Amino acid sequence: MVTTTSNDQEIMLNRELGLIQFYRRVLAQVTDDSVPLLEKINYLCIVSKNCDEFFEVRVARLLKWNKDHPNKLLPDGLTANNALSLVRGAVVSLYDDIYRVYHSILIPQLRKADIVILPHEEWNTAQQKWANKYFINELKPVLTPISIDPAHPFPRIPNKNLHFAVELEGIDQYGRNSKIAIVEAPRILHRVIKLPEKLSDGKDTFVLLQDIIKLHVDEFFYGLNVKGCYPFRVTRNAQINLKNDSKNLRLAVTNEIQNRKYAECSRLELDITSGMPNNKLINILLNQFNISEQDLYLAQGPVNLSRLQDITKMIKRDELRFAAYTPGIPEELIATPDIFAAMSKSDILIHTPYQSFEPLIELTRRAAEDPDVLAVKMTVYRTGTDSELAQNLIKAAKAGKQVVASIELFARFDEEANVELAKMLENAGAHVVYGVMGYKVHAKMLLIVRKENGILKQYVHLGSGNYHQATAKVYSDFGLLTTNPEIVHDVDNLFAQITGVGKNGILKKIYQAPFNLFELILEKIEHETINALNGKPAKIIAKMNSLLENQVIRALYKASQAGVKIDLIIRGSCALRPGIPGLSENIQVRSIVGRFLEHHRVFCFYNSGANDVYISSADWMKRNFFRRVETCIPILNKKIKRRIITESLTFCLKDNVGAWIMDKDGNYSLVKNKRKKFSSQAALMEKLGTTNTKDTI
């Protein structure tokens, strides 16, 4: 028997390597023949964007730890230095596979469909003339070459902007002998340009901005010899760090957002499709960005593949996309369209994106327009300033209702949008707070107070996902609409905590981080463990985005050793090692990758057949348990409980189309069996909405 006091490396996997494995599962969608062609571009772009965030956050943090505390032990038992070395190697391998898939699979398949990303080597005379004209008229006026010499210091390079390092030879009319120049391509410029029809031979033909600039960069250096032109991009630390004595949190965050553009570098990407630059140029770049050669990543293609997503917006061919899908409406709202009346009758579950996000918009719309509504309180993590939901909050405030918005200024990469929304709400007369200093408010809560027949009644929405209309179309999440008095009491209490000050009030049903959610999970796992030791049936099924918390993982190992059957459905990174004899042979970990992003947090504990089910805003991670305000809601309605178990757990465990099984070393393989094909996502589309898809379920 393996003990949970063993070396951490024997029982825990590295978080960063787990994320890279997730990116590989997404990349595999590009090689899947069942995925429509334009969707393959989207998946490739998702991998590219994920890699950006990986370096902005995870690698940046490892670099800092390695610099300040190289022997710092991570939860998996690795030192920061060792973890960084492993991650760098894994990323190099991932890069190789990304560009192999791009060149060997995606580009040829696009060509077969008459969609051509035309390399400059294949431009005919007419196309070359067009590109020259485009450069002169559209690009040259907005591009600025900066030679590097005593009078021209190396320019500041913003985070993730496309630049070109130009090697020069010769002396100009001023007698200057610059060897290197930098040219920036402003973000406003399109990275992919569609050729006019007359130059496309009946095909959808695109050229890359970087190819046009590379071929014409000598226009900036008349009389000099351009020896090489190399597209590059730097990635910088995206972490926002504020001093505890910040007097104005919003102003401090605004300033930090600006500073982030020029924070410490964590990656230099260099396009080497035209060959390698000389070592002198590489060393100049490395020294300028204060990084080592290990942080240089050589790209066999465009350094920002995510900008290829523009192609999908310019091609109007529905047969190359996923079949159109219309999300359904909960049957309770079909029977009783008045949402307040429907919620008064019973709890309502909304399962996005299979069911529409529209009821949430309707709820806030009614709150803004209904004269009987007195107050609206909401947590905002990711919403967006231009969403109808956000506009409804503004309308409610302008209508004189009390609107309270707890806006999370530290929602990574949404900080700027949230700062802007805060300004708009304040200008409309809303009360805006920024959560609890030192804790992210990650809970998803909406509370509406309405006066009915002289009595105040409260309507609540609690969810596992964000109040964001765009992501609600692709992220799978649960939302609960309820007027249950105990749940309402708890939500009211939680808002009082967030907006006011005082000791934690007693919650009747909801569990909350950072106070008792962690203890709940450990207690529920322990209860199943005791049942198993007493010879009773014991089972845990849990679904989440990440499983990383050390004590929870050790508790799961203990449960497995006692005989508890544990099924974990983890979309992203999982530090637990399944299938180790004597430790975790009763634990299976699977990941579902498909058309929609699996985003639920659902926990089901068998409890002698009672099946205690919870939906939550929290993953099983240290930050969620101890550094965030999170909610975990027990499902009290039996019908809704059955739905949640079926739709988010049972279906996923039956899936043999988009399911990947994890081994003890953190590697994944697609589920393969001879049963009839069953896609959990296709089954949910058929069950809950209207679709033209012919996916086998």
Matching residue, tokens 């027990």: 634
pLDDT band at 503 (very low <50, low <70, confident <90, very high): low
| Cα gap 511→178, rounded to integer Å | 64
Query: Which token pair is 270?
Result: 């260099």
pLDDT number for residue 340? 97
Catalytic residue (one of 163, 216, 351, 442): 442
Over residues 586-613, the pLDDT tens digits come to 999 999 999 999 999 999 999 999 999 9
pLDDT number for residue 504? 63
- DSSP characters over 182-246: EEEE-TTS-SEEEPPGGGTTTSEEEEEHHHHHHHHGGGGSTTSEEEEEEEEEEEE-------TT-
Give start-end residues of each CATH 3.30.870.10 domain in the chain: 325-509, 512-691
Query: Which token pair is 300?
Result: 């066999």
Classified by CATH at the fold level, domain 325-509 comes out as Endonuclease; Chain A (3.30.870)
Whether residue 630 contacts residue 497, with contact meaning beta carbons closer than 8 Å, is answered with no
What one-character DSSP code corresponds to residue 647? I
Query: Which residues, other chains included, contact 64 with Cβ-Cβ below 8 Å and sequence gap of 6+?
Result: 237, 264
pLDDT number for residue 692? 43
Whether residue 536 contacts residue 606, with contact meaning beta carbons closer than 8 Å, is answered with no
124 φψ region: left (φ > 0), alpha (ψ -120 to 50), beta (else): beta
pLDDT exceeds cutoff 60 at 162: yes
Average pLDDT, the chain: 92
Whether residue 484 contacts residue 636, with contact meaning beta carbons closer than 8 Å, is answered with yes
Q: How far is CA 381 from the centre of its chain?
A: 13
Whether residue 230 contacts residue 274, with contact meaning beta carbons closer than 8 Å, is answered with yes
**Residue 599 CB burial class (10 angstroms; 0-12, 13-18, ≥19):** buried
The answer to pTM > 0.85 is: yes
Instruction: Assign domain 15-320 to its CATH architecture.
Output: 2-Layer Sandwich (3.30)
- DSSP characters over 347-383: -EEEEETTB-SHHHHHHHHHHHH-TTEEEEEEEESS-
Matching residue, tokens 């071929």: 215
Mean pLDDT of 220-228: 89
Query: Which token pair is 676?
Result: 């009839």
Concerning whether 461 is annotated as a catalytic residue, the answer is no
pLDDT band at 502 (very low <50, low <70, confident <90, very high): low
What one-character DSSP code corresponds to residue 569? E
Q: Residue 675 to residues 336, 517, 538, 693, 696: CA-CA distances in angstroms?
A: 40, 39, 27, 21, 12
pLDDT number for residue 240? 75
Helix (H, G, I), strand (E, B) or coil at 655: coil
Query: Which residues, other chains included, contact 141 with Cβ-Cβ below 8 Å and sequence gap of 6+?
Result: none
pLDDT number for residue 2? 59
pLDDT band at 6 (very low <50, low <70, confident <90, very high): low
Residue 158 identity (one-letter amino acid): P
Query: Which residues, other chains included, contact 367 with Cβ-Cβ below 8 Å and sequence gap of 6+?
Result: 373, 376, 392, 396, 401, 448
Which helix (H) or strand (E) segment holds residue 138: the answer is: none
Mean pLDDT of 433-454: 92
Whether residue 666 contacts residue 589, with contact meaning beta carbons closer than 8 Å, is answered with no
Instruction: Assign domain 512-691 to its CATH architecture.
Output: 2-Layer Sandwich (3.30)
pLDDT number for residue 169? 84
Query: Which token pair is 79?
Result: 């030192």
pLDDT exceeds cutoff 80 at 414: no
Query: Which residues, other chains included, contact 618 with Cβ-Cβ below 8 Å and sequence gap of 6+?
Result: 442, 513, 517, 601, 624, 625, 628, 630, 631, 632
pLDDT number for residue 666? 96
291 φψ region: left (φ > 0), alpha (ψ -120 to 50), beta (else): beta
Least Cα distance to 283 among 271, 275, 291 occurs for: 291
Over residues 383-401, the pLDDT tens digits come to 876 789 999 999 999 999 9
Phi and psi torsions of 530, nearest 5°: -65, -40
Matching residue, tokens 């090692």: 577
pLDDT number for residue 693? 43
Least Cα distance to 468 among 418, 419, 512, 423 occurs for: 418
Give start-end residues of each CATH 3.30.1840.10 domain in the chain: 15-320
| Cα gap 479→462, rounded to integer Å | 6
| Cα gap 25→571, rounded to integer Å | 10
Least Cα distance to 232 among 189, 293, 280, 183 occurs for: 183
